[in-house]
C-alpha cells in the first residue's frame, strides 16, 4: 500500500534547530517510504540541503504571517502534489497553511510548535482548522494548554538528533595555544538575547580565582570574530561551523544560559558527545537534563547558581567525567529515529479521522 504524501512547509531563512528538524524528518520519512515535498523560501539552507539529499522541493516566498498570495500558491502546490498532510513547522507557515487549506478537508493540517512561550491569536489560529499540533516538549504543551489550546489536539513528540558523526575532533587548546590544564567551555547556537548570550559576561566575571584562570570560552554560532575576551576570560568566536560535531567534541563543558527553550537540540547534541551541560531550568530543558546525573540545572535567572555549577565542573575532572557519561546515556533517549516514527504515528491518526 502506498504511504500518504507529506508536504512540509517552513519559512526559516537561516539554519537553526527547527530547520534541522524539518530536514531530519523529511529525509527520515523518505527512507520509510513516504513521498515528501519540502516547501521553503528561495535560497534558504533548508531548500539547499533538501535538494542535496535528493528530496523534491518547491520555493515559496512566504512573506508575512497572513500572506494571501503565498497561501494561494501553497494551495495549488498541495493540490498538484496530492498531499494527504500539510505539515507547517513554524508560526508563519501555520497561518499560511490554514488559509491555503480552507475548504479542503481531505488534506489534513499538522502544526509543530517549538517555543515555550504562549501562542498569540489562539481563537483565530488554534481553535479551528488544525487536525493536530505537535509540541516538542511537555513544557511547550503546557504553555499551549494554559493559553486555551485543546489538550487532546496536542501530541508531544520530542525533537531528536542523529548519532553524532565526528570526523576530525577539534583540539581547541592546540589551535589557540591555550594551556594543557585549561577547561574549554562552549556556548552553542544562535547568539540571541533569548539564548542568554548577554549573561555570559556576568557568569565569566564571577568565576573564582583559579577557576577563572583555567577557563576558556568557545562561541559556536556567533559572528565569527575570532579571538576575543569575555570579562577577562580568553575565548574564541568561531562563528557558524559546518562540522559542528567536530567542534563540539573539543569542548569540556557546555554552557547553555537560555532564558527560554522549547527543548534544546544543541544541548542534546553535546550530551550525545559526552559533554556535560549547565543550563537554567527553563522550558523543556528539565525534560532533557537530569540534574546531577547527566548535567547540572540551575534555577531560572540564577547567575550566582550558574557560576557555582560552572566552578564545580571546571575544577572537578571526575565530576565532568561522571556527568559526561550520564549525558551520553541520556541523549540516546532523544534519537531522531524515534522523532520520525512518532511523527508518522501522528499522521496516521489524523488521516484515520
The DSSP result for 136-158, as a single string, is SSHHHHHHHHHHT--GGGEEE--
Whether 324 shows a pLDDT value over 90: the answer reads yes
Looking at residue 131, what is its pLDDT?
A: 96
Average pLDDT (137-162) is 97
Q: What's the whole-number average pLDDT of the chain?
A: 94
* Per-residue pLDDT reduced to its tens digit, 299-309: 999 999 999 99
* Per-residue pLDDT reduced to its tens digit, 161-206: 999 989 899 999 999 999 999 999 999 976 566 666 788 999 999 9
Looking at residue 343, what is its pLDDT?
A: 98
Instruction: Residue 244: name the closest of 334, 155, 324, 169 by CA.
Output: 169
Looking at residue 193, what is its pLDDT?
A: 62
Average pLDDT (127-146) is 96
Whether 352 shows a pLDDT value over 70: the answer reads yes
DSSP 192: S
Domain boundaries, given as residue ranges, for the chain: 5-160+335-351, 172-334
Looking at residue 65, what is its pLDDT?
A: 85
Whether 134 shows a pLDDT value over 90: the answer reads yes
Alpha-carbon torsion angle 30, 35, 40, 43, nearest 10: 60
CA 328 to chain centre: 18
Looking at residue 195, what is its pLDDT?
A: 65
Same fold, 5-160+335-351 and 172-334: yes
Whether 335 shows a pLDDT value over 70: the answer reads yes
% of the chain beyond a pLDDT of 90: 87
Give me the phi and psi of 40, to 5 degrees please.
-160, 170
Sheet order of strands, 108-113 included: 57-59, 35-40, 5-9, 85-88, 108-113, 132-135, 154-156
**CATH T-level topology, domain 5-160+335-351:** Rossmann fold (3.40.50)
The answer to whether residues 152 and 129 touch, using CB atoms and an 8 Å cutoff, is no
* Per-residue pLDDT reduced to its tens digit, 42-66: 999 999 999 999 999 999 998 888 8
Looking at residue 22, what is its pLDDT?
A: 98
Q: Residue 33, by phi and psi: left (phi above 0), alpha (psi -120 to 50) or beta?
A: left
* Per-residue pLDDT reduced to its tens digit, 220-253: 987 888 999 999 999 999 998 888 999 999 999 9
**CATH T-level topology, domain 172-334:** Rossmann fold (3.40.50)
The answer to whether residues 58 and 86 touch, using CB atoms and an 8 Å cutoff, is no
Looking at residue 223, what is its pLDDT?
A: 80
What whole-number distance in Å separates Cα of residue 286 and Cα of residue 224? 30
Amino acid at each position: 500500500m502506498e504511504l500518504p504524501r507529506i508536504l512540509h512547509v517552513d519559512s526559516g531563512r537561516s539554519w537553526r534547530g527547527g530547520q534541522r528538524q524539518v530536514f531530519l524528518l523529511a529525509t527520515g520519512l523518505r527512507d520509510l517510504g513516504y513521498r515528501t515535498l519540502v516547501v521553503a523560501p528561495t535560497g534558504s539552507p533548508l531548500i539547499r540541503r533538501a535538494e542535496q539529499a535528493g528530496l523534491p522541493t518547491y520555493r515559496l516566498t512566504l512573506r508575512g504571517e497572513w500572506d494571501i498570495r503565498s497561501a494561494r500558491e501553497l494551495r495549488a502546490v498541495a493540490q498538484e502534489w496530492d498531499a494527504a498532510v500539510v505539515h507547517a513547522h513554524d508560526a508563519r507557515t501555520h497561518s499560511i497553511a490554514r488559509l491555503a487549506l480552507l475548504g479542503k478537508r481531505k488534506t489534513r493540517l499538522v502544526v509543530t510548535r517549538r517555543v515555550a512561550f504562549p501562542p498569540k491569536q489562539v481563537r483565530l489560529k488554534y481553535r479551528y482548522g488544525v487536525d493536530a499540533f505537535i509540541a516538542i516538549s511537555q513544557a511547550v504543551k503546557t504553555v499551549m494548554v494554559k493559553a486555551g489550546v485543546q489538550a487532546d489536539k496536542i501530541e508531544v513528540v520530542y525533537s531528536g538528533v542523529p548519532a553524532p558523526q565526528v570526523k576530525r575532533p577539534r583540539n581547541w587548546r592546540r589551535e589557540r595555544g591555550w594551556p594543557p590544564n585549561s577547561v574549554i567551555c562552549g556556548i552553542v547556537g544562535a547568539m540571541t538575547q533569548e539564548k542568554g548570550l548577554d549573561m555570559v559576561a556576568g557568569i565569566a566575571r564571577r568565576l573564582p580565582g583559579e577557576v577563572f584562570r583555567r577557563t576558556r570560552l568557545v562561541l559556536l554560532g556567533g559572528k565569527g570574530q575570532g579571538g576575543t575576551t569575555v570579562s577577562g576570560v580568553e575565548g574564541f568566536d568561531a562563528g557558524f561551523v559546518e562540522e559542528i560535531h567536530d567542534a563540539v567534541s573539543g569542548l569540556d563543558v557546555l554552557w547553555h544560559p537560555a532564558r527560554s527553550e522549547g527543548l534544546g537540540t544543541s544541548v542534546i547534541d553535546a550530551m550525545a558527545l559526552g559533554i556535560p551541560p549547565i543550563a537554567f531550568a527553563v522550558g523543556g530543558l528539565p525534560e532533557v537534563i537530569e540534574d546531577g546525573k547527566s548535567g547540572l540545572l540551575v534555577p531560572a535567572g540564577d547567575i550566582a547558581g550558574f557560576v557555582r555549577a560552572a566552578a564545580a565542573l571546571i575544577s572537578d575532572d571526575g565530576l565532568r567525567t561522571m556527568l559526561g557519561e550520564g549525558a551520553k546515556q541520556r541523549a540516546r533517549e532523544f534519537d531522531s529515529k524515534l522523532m520520525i516514527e512518532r511523527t508518522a504515528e501522528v499522521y496516521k491518526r489524523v488521516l484515520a479521522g
